[in-house]
Amino acid sequence: MTSPPQVNGHQRPTSEPRFDPVVLAEADAIRAKAEADAEAARIKAKGEADAARTLAAEEAEKLRLTNERARLAQERKQVDHDAYVAKKAAETAKANAEKEKAEQANADREAAEARREAEQERSEHWWKWGARVIYAVGMVIAGPVQFMHFWDRDRPFLIAAPVLLEGFALVLAFGAAWAVANRRDVAPYRIGIMAGAVIAAVVNLHGGISDDRIGLNAGLIGAIASLGGPLVLMAYEHGKAQKADGIPSWRERRAVARAQAEAAAVRKKEQLERQAAEHAAEADRRLAESRAREEQERRDADRKSGHPKVWEVAEAIRSARGSQYVTEQIWTEAWGRVTGSKTVGITPEIEAQSRGAEARMQAATKTPILGSFSLIESQKGPRAKREPGAPDGRRNNGGTPPVRRAGDSPPNSPLARRQARLEQPILTAKSNATEEQK
């Protein structure tokens, strides 16, 4: 076969250039390697950039979280500090308020005490001078009556008798005041005052009856004056003596008696309440003991009738240990001695039945399902075989299947492989049966 001398109007070269396939393959390999190296470098650079960017983002996130935690900690510290300051301020305000309240109470108490003392001083002042004025007025009234009664021209010395009678009571009143001031017995002075006052009153009354110059009215009023002045002064000194001796007054004794009566009533009420509470507690205790005893009797009867062998052992243990009744500890020990089980209520038969049921449940839950209920078998359907001359239905690659290499598809899971191994005999038997039918 010969070639035309010209091709497309040009002279054909005498010999065509030839290329070495090895060199071309090496060049392709070098180019492919260079492209691969460039792609690897690009991927590496991209990965390093992505890693650096990810690391920077992580560092930024860590820094943000650290700053956020620091901010939250600072806010928490600030809140705690504010709460502490507010608490201290509230405590200080409360302490100041209590202090002011206590100071106000003390001031009010001191003011009340000052007012009471002032009132006492005022009343004592008026009482003292009132008693003295009454005594002086009595002497002014009784003195002239006695002077008129004892006046005698033949015995002028009797003019001193009124001074003796009235002065007797007055001097004894001064003596009673001295006794009160020096915390001495006041009774003798009071007896002397009353004796002198009675004598002066009798003299005045006798003078008014026997002497027409004096008259009954003047004698009577003189007798009253002789008695009234010393009595009032003695009453004043008596009050001072009681105050000096710390003897309570009738009002104070009445207040103390009322307070004691109220305290006694409160104590009696508390005692009655305590007794009622004790009675109620005793009733509850007895009721609880009765219920516990009934429950123990019911439990013993139930155990004795339901588990006689265990009950005999439990009774033997109870009797040997001196216990009042079969306790839960004794019953548990007796149950273990008889049945060998540490769990009360479990017998060997129940334990065997339970273990058998557990084994059946393990077998039912862990053994793969075979047959029509299998998950793999249920997903498989009959596939129609393609005729030899039928066109290829794959369109994307022009009917040419892609080249498959090892590692293109992910491996099956261990469970799927295990299920396939278990179902392989069944599938083989089905396939053989189908071939025989054909």
> pLDDT tens string for the chain (438 positions)?
445 555 455 555 554 445 556 666 667 677 777 777 777 777 777 777 777 777 787 788 788 888 888 888 888 888 888 888 888 888 888 888 888 888 888 888 888 888 878 887 787 778 778 777 777 777 777 777 777 777 767 777 777 777 777 777 778 777 777 777 777 777 787 788 778 778 878 887 877 787 777 777 777 877 787 777 777 777 777 777 666 666 666 777 788 888 888 989 999 999 999 999 999 999 999 999 999 889 988 988 888 888 888 898 888 888 888 888 888 888 898 888 888 888 888 888 888 888 888 888 877 776 555 555 555 454 455 556 666 666 655 555 555 566 667 766 767 667 767 777 777 777 777 677 677 666
Calculate ∠ Cα 301-282-292, nearest 5°: 15
DSSP 264-320: HHHHHHHHHHHHHHHHHHHHHHHHHHHHHHHHHHHHHHHHHHH-HHHHHHHHHHHHH
CA atoms within 13 A on the CB side of 361: 6
Query: Residue 339, Cβ neighbours under 10 Å: how many?
Result: 20
Tell me the C-alpha distance between 427 and 429, whole Å: 5
Tell me the C-alpha distance between 324 and 289, whole Å: 14
Q: Based on the number of CB atoms within 10 Å of its own CB, is 243 exposed (0-12), middle (13-18) or buried (19 or more)? A: middle
Query: Residue 156, Cβ neighbours under 10 Å: how many?
Result: 10
Tell me the C-alpha distance between 239 and 180, whole Å: 10
CA atoms within 13 A on the CB side of 36: 6
Domain ranges of the chain: 132-256, 257-302, 307-369
C-alpha pair distances (Å), 168 with each of 45, 95, 193: 137, 65, 7
What confidence score (pLDDT) does residue 287 get? Answer: 92
Q: How far is CA 183 from the centre of its chain?
A: 61
What confidence score (pLDDT) does residue 281 get? Answer: 92
| Terminal alpha carbon distance of the chain | 57
Calculate ∠ Cα 287-289-292, nearest 5°: 110
What confidence score (pLDDT) does residue 24 get? Answer: 64
Q: For tokens 């295990």, what's the residue?
A: 418
What confidence score (pLDDT) does residue 273 get? Answer: 92
In the DSSP assignment, the letter for residue 12 is P
- Take residue 401 and report the two structure tokens written for it: 């299947």
* Model-wide pTM > 0.75: no
- Take residue 179 and report the two structure tokens written for it: 């006794």
Over the Cα atoms of the chain, what is R_g?
66
What confidence score (pLDDT) does residue 372 get? Answer: 53
